[in-house]
């Protein structure tokens, strides 16, 4: 299997779908916005974009099944699985805001082997298909070396269903807020890629789904970064919680915010 060739095809597919998202944003009418739960939006654009991705990815690599956010295609256990978020950042999207992205990962027997995250407004294509090499457009990525919370630039998100643990983490973060700059950008897939690009030092979030993190986490690891669940283990794709970092700041985030 030529992963680099497949990655180029996936980038093309992400770009086509991303441009569809970008063009539809201005056309979206208020009565076309639905709620899945409190402050959890969905639109026809999410679903149509997903169908476009499924059709194109099926053609590019027919052996793989799908795990998608909008469930327009049924999940089937196969050796290869596409994990897709057609529109990550729907809350930003429905408010006419940015960023938002298309996120696509390919998993082989439980391991991600390819990741693409595309922001069509900023024209930023994050990708990786080979260990040790991650790209933003054509530029090779590397995480930064910020090792402490002091003067850190830190991303996080607030889950749709905020449980006690999530609330405690936000309280812990608040006790650190004089030391560092916190940012909530609203697209987990992209915010993990910002760590890969050395823009932010870390990103943490509970209540995430596989399609929010699978592609970004692989891109981050290929750029030299680290991902863990809130216990420091490897269950960060299906385990609904993630700390993504440059590696150097990981322990301090775990010690001061997560626990």
- Contacts to ligand IPD by CB under 6 A: 85, 88-91, 157, 159-160, 186-188, 205, 207-208, 212
Least distance (Å) between residue 190 CB and ligand IPD: 8
* CB closer to Ca ion, 83 vs 248: 83
* CB closer to ligand IPD, 86 vs 247: 86
Least distance (Å) between residue 77 CB and ligand IPD: 24
What is the per-residue DSSP string for the chain? Answer: --HHHHHHHHHHHHHHHHHHHHHHHTT--GGGEEEEETTEEEEHHHHHHHHHHHHHHHHH-TT-EEEETT-SS-----SEEEEEEEEE-HHHHHTT-S--EEEEEEEETTEEEEEEEEETTTTEEEEEEETTEEEETTEEP------SSTT-EEEE---SS--HHHHHHHHHHHHTTTTSEEE--S-HHHHHHHHHTTSSSEEEEES--HHHHHHHHHHHHHTT-EEE-TTSSS--SSSSEEEEE-STTHHHHIIIII-
* CB closer to ligand IPD, 48 vs 85: 85
Task: Return residues touching Ca ion (CB under 5 A).
Answer: 69, 85, 87-88, 212
Least distance (Å) between residue 254 CB and Ca ion: 24
* CB closer to Ca ion, 48 vs 85: 85
Least distance (Å) between residue 98 CB and ligand IPD: 12
Indicate the residue whose CB is closest to ligand IPD.
Answer: 157
Least distance (Å) between residue 250 CB and Ca ion: 23
* CB closer to ligand IPD, 81 vs 187: 187
| Residue 157 interacts with which of Ca ion, ligand IPD, none, CB < 5 to 8 Å by class | ligand IPD
């Amino acid at each position: 299997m030529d992963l680099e060739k497949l990655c180029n095809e996936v980038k093309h597919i992400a770009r086509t779908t991303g441009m569809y998202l970008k063009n539809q944003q201005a056309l979206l009418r208020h009565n076309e916005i639905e709620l899945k739960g409190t402050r959890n939006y969905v639109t026809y654009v999410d679903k149509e974009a997903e169908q476009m991705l499924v059709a194109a990815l099926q053609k590019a690599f027919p052996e793989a099944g799908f795990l998608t956010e909008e469930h327009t295609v049924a999940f089937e256990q196969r050796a290869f699985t596409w994990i897709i978020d057609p529109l990550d950042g729907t809350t930003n999207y429905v408010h006419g805001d940015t960023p938002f992205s298309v996120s696509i990962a390919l998993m082989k027997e439980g391991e991600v082997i390819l990741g693409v995250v595309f922001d069509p407004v900023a024209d930023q294509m994050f990708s990786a298909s080979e260990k040790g090499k991650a790209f933003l457009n054509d530029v090779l990525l590397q995480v930064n070396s910020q090792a402490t919370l002091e003067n850190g630039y830190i991303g996080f998100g607030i889950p749709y269903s905020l449980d006690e643990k999530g609330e405690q983490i936000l309280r812990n973060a608040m006790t650190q807020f004089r030391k560092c700059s916190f940012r909530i950008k609203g697209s987990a897939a992209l915010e993990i890629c910002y760590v890969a690009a050395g823009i932010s030092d870390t990103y943490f979030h509970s209540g995430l789904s596989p399609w929010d993190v699978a592609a970004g986490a692989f891109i981050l690891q290929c750029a030299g970064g680290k991902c863990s669940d809130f216990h420091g283990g490897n269950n960060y794709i299906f385990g609904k919680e993630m700390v993504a970092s440059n590696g150097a700041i990981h322990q301090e985030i775990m010690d001061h915010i997560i626990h």
